[in-house]
Amino acid sequence: MSLWSIVSSAMLGRLESVACLVAALIVSGCTDTRTLCALGDSITYGAIGFSDARAAFPPPAALEALLARAPEEHPWRRASVRSYAVPGSWTGEWVTTPPRDQVCHVWRNRLPLVGKACEERMPLVAALGNPPCDGYLIALGINDWVGKVSVETSVDNLALLASKVGAPTWIAAPTHAKDAAIQGRGRALRNALAARGMLTGIDPPVLPLAADGVHLLDPGSAALGALWFSVLR
């Protein structure tokens, strides 16, 4: 069954509405002094395919726009959301080893976090230092399959990352992928997180994918921000 037979035209219409809503909200720029920090890979970054194309509203930007208009009782109303996403990153590169040469080559001059980690040969969380983050949204782990990192090691790395940031964390399950191997790894990671009581963030439904079958189209990227909004309530 194809993705487009799974995602009905009605659902796509709703996702496009979310993207339009985010576009309307983003202009308000109304944030409070509290800050959420998003640690992730290319999905959090908002990449569309394996190119420089980027979503109009990556999940962190979409979430911040929604929080700007959240009801007064929402615990994160008007919080700012900072993105520390590193496309292609593995969980181990956040906590135990410096980024791989490939990540350094592509991102060291574009993302200050990567530049520091590569120059000083330290894990990304060490390069992150102590930003003013009151909570962390973590969406990592699906890229580990490229390096044949076991699911158990990925979960251990995520637990270590959560212990190092020094603030409340919400850990997400991976988004859906069209490729059977990637999707199987994602489900295994999701189930392992749930078994250890670590699946505290979003557990995404099927969302519209770009042509590469991995990254999200604009409506799906904005919808991911809306899902984070609902988890944080």
In a domain, 125, yes or no: no
Residue 130 confidence (pLDDT): 87
DSSP string computed for 7-73: S-HHHHHHHHHHHHHHHHHHTT----S-EEEEEESHHHHTB-SSSS-B-SS-HHHHHHHHHHT--TT
Provide the domain count of the chain: 1
Q: Phi/psi of residue 139, each to 5°?
A: -135, 85
- Between CA 104 and CA 44 the distance in angstroms is 18
Tell me the CATH number at 173: 3.40.50.1110
- For residue 209, CA distances in Å to 97, 127, 136, 142, 215 come to 31, 32, 25, 16, 6
In a domain, 32, yes or no: yes
In a domain, 99, yes or no: no
The dihedral through the CA atoms of 109, 114, 118, 119 has a sign that is positive
In a domain, 119, yes or no: no
Residue 233 confidence (pLDDT): 79
- Domain span at 221: 3-89+132-231
Q: What is the pTM of this model?
A: 0.85
In a domain, 203, yes or no: yes
Residue 126 confidence (pLDDT): 97
In a domain, 53, yes or no: yes
In a domain, 227, yes or no: yes
In a domain, 84, yes or no: yes
List per-block mean pLDDT (blocks of 10 residues) for the chain, which spans 233 residues. Answer: 40 47 45 86 89 86 96 94 97 98 96 98 96 95 93 98 95 96 96 98 94 92 96 89
